[in-house]
Amino acid sequence: MNLQLMYSSELIQARTRELGARISKDFHDLPLVAVCVLKGAAIFFADLVRSLSIETEMDFVRMSSYAGSTSSSGKVTFSKDMEIPIKDKHVLIVEDIVDTGLSVSYLRHVLEARNPLSISICALIDKLERRQVQVKVHYPGFVLQEGFIVGYGLDYAEKYRQLPGIFKLISEK
């Protein structure tokens, strides 16, 4: 596999600070719970919450629909639930990538049943190529038309997460 740089570490950091400022402005003085979707969003989540200038509760969920492949299986596996109650609070789902939309749509449905005041979605990458479910990403880091990407938490079969930038994964022919 070959890697082609898409977004440098410096560009990601600058964009994350912009998102943090916008989220802080939008949720000023409101009860906010930021929910990290593990594992892929962990690096982005850590940088994002540190860029917020508002009080924020943090929690984590773990779910997957890829199972070691480059395409979604269509089945969402939910393996870790939140611990913080979200009733009467605003929720910010933080994803590494919204691709098909299946996982984040499923999570949104699960969380809506818990009566939050609102649910917003922040994704480092809003990828449009394989969207199967219409999902609004309120706070997109970068919009990507197509390509399989890795780095900065994004993986292929648990590899490449440690890369400081985001790279397009190109298979050798």
- 99 counts as catalytic: yes
How far, CA to CA in Å, does 29 sit from each of 116, 127, 142?
16, 31, 27
Which residues does 131 contact at the CB level (< 8 Å), separation at least 6?
99, 100, 101
Q: In what order do the strands lie in the sheet with 118-127?
A: 77-80, 57-64, 32-38, 90-98, 118-127, 139-144
Task: Out of 47, 96, 99, 155, pick the active-site residue.
Answer: 99
133: its two tokens = 């479910």
**Residues taking part in catalysis:** 99
